[in-house]
Amino acid sequence: MHERTIAELAHGLRAGEFSAVEVTEAFLRRIEALDGRLNSFITVTAERALEQARAADERLRRGGGGPLTGVPVAHKDIFCTDGVRTSCASRMLDSFVAPYDATVVERLRDAGAVMLGKTNMDEFAMGSSNETSFYGPVRNPWDTERVPGGSSGGSAAAVAARLVPGATGTDTGGSIRQPAALCGITGLKPTYGRVSRWGMIAFASSLDQGGPMARTAEDVALLLGAMAGFDPRDSTSVDRPVPDYAAELARPLRGLRVGLPREYFGEGLEAGVREAVEAAVRVLESEGAEVREISLPTTPLAVPAYYVVAPAEASSNLARYDGVRYGYRCEDPRDLEDLYMRTRGEGFGAEVKRRILVGTYTLSAGYYDAYYLKAQKVRRLIRDDFVRAFEEVDVIAGPTSPTTAFRLGERLDDPVTMYLSDVYTIAANLAGLPALSMPVGFAGGLPVGMQLIGRHFEEGRLLNVAHQYQLATDWHRAAPPGFE
């Protein structure tokens, strides 16, 4: 059962080959047997999952249901779930049980998807390795001594290990795409505003975007079709019709103009990653695409701009965790100041505290103009680079990550090197563009991902390109040894 994709499970469920309860039980058994090696789940909701599966079976028996009815999914533990702990992988929210569902959770539930549980992540989505979680690091199923990427590493590892056919993630600077690349699956960051952020616990509000993760572009298209759409509860949600992403997959690539930024193939890119990405580009050419070199000259500015903007917004968003209203509270505070200081000092991990301090500094009097305002101006220049590039090409392609999965603990004491893991992904968030990572091979036995970046709201084109590539290759079918 676990070898089937979402599309294959949906077909079997509608054909009556098996029931939603049978599918759900099979994945729950697999999680129980194998997740001890990965730590990809924080909470498993077995009882609720079986209840939802029985409801899906009834819906299918009546002739109703859609492409996700009865299909198991998991949610990154940053999405609020009614009656289920939503921790953000932090001690600060270890005891928090949300009284409502996030819009993403609500829409997938209404589409008939069955929630198996909540996946592990970097604390408050701050990290590129899934090592900052209060519940311990997630391990990469391709090599359990290596990281799965972050911050959506739990979702990526669970999908790669076939513990769940699809999962949700969030992407602030590459947190869907980078773990998708390191774990050998497909992950999509939609255009900013395409998927509602309501009920998704905020890290950096102008950058955060929820998105789907699965093994194939076809599966990602099915998930995105249910997740996307206008939400009046989210002031950043865009009121724009949602296309049928699955219907766009069959479009041929003949005439597609693919741009390769020279800045994405320079110093710091591992040779094995470069070779796999260049081979993938040749496959696109064989399918009829036209490839040309382009330039995105502000690429070197993306990481420094991001690490001013994102911590500043995090400093503001995380100010609410003060021990007064909800979440962790220190014991026996002497006074209000002691309550604030010890609650935040004990409740947040080291990386979260580092980003709060940096963000507070950049927003402080005398430094706002020098750092935050300048970073926002650079952000506009980055966006203008993409606007010019898309006058010449339809899609931009390049490596998702400069390296394959690195070893656990290897970069924890070197935050700058850790931050550079997202050197190719951050610019799409600063510009609000859709971007996708798909598996394109291996280097040293570890997965390599290629990133595709598109114009605003052209997720369908990215999914189409990835799907056509996956029809011509089989990298997306590879399973980690021991998790086949």
Q: Please give the positions annotated as active site.
A: 76, 151, 175
Q: Token pair of 24, please?
A: 């759900």
Q: Token pair of 302, please?
A: 């993306």
Q: Which of 349, 367, 387, 352 is nearest to 308 (CA)?
A: 367
Distance CA 219, CA 217 (A): 5
Q: Is 365 exposed, middle or buried (0-12, 13-18, 19+ CB in 10 A)?
A: exposed
Q: How many residues are given for the chain? A: 484
Distance CA 89, CA 87 (A): 5
Alpha helices per DSSP H over 133-268: 153-160, 177-183, 217-227
Distance CA 17, CA 30 (A): 20
Q: Token pair of 244, please?
A: 């049928």
Q: Which residue has tokens 């605003």?
A: 456
Provide the 10 A C-beta neighbour count for residue 321: 24
Q: Token pair of 34, please?
A: 């194998």
Instruction: Give 160's contacts (C-beta < 8 A, 6+ positions apart).
Output: 140, 141, 142, 148, 183, 184, 185, 215, 480, 483
The answer to whether the beta carbons of residues 372 and 365 sit under 8 Å apart is no
Phi-psi region of 309 (alpha: psi -120 to 50; beta: other; left: phi over 0): alpha
CA atoms within 13 A on the CB side of 74: 34
Distance CA 265, CA 277 (A): 10
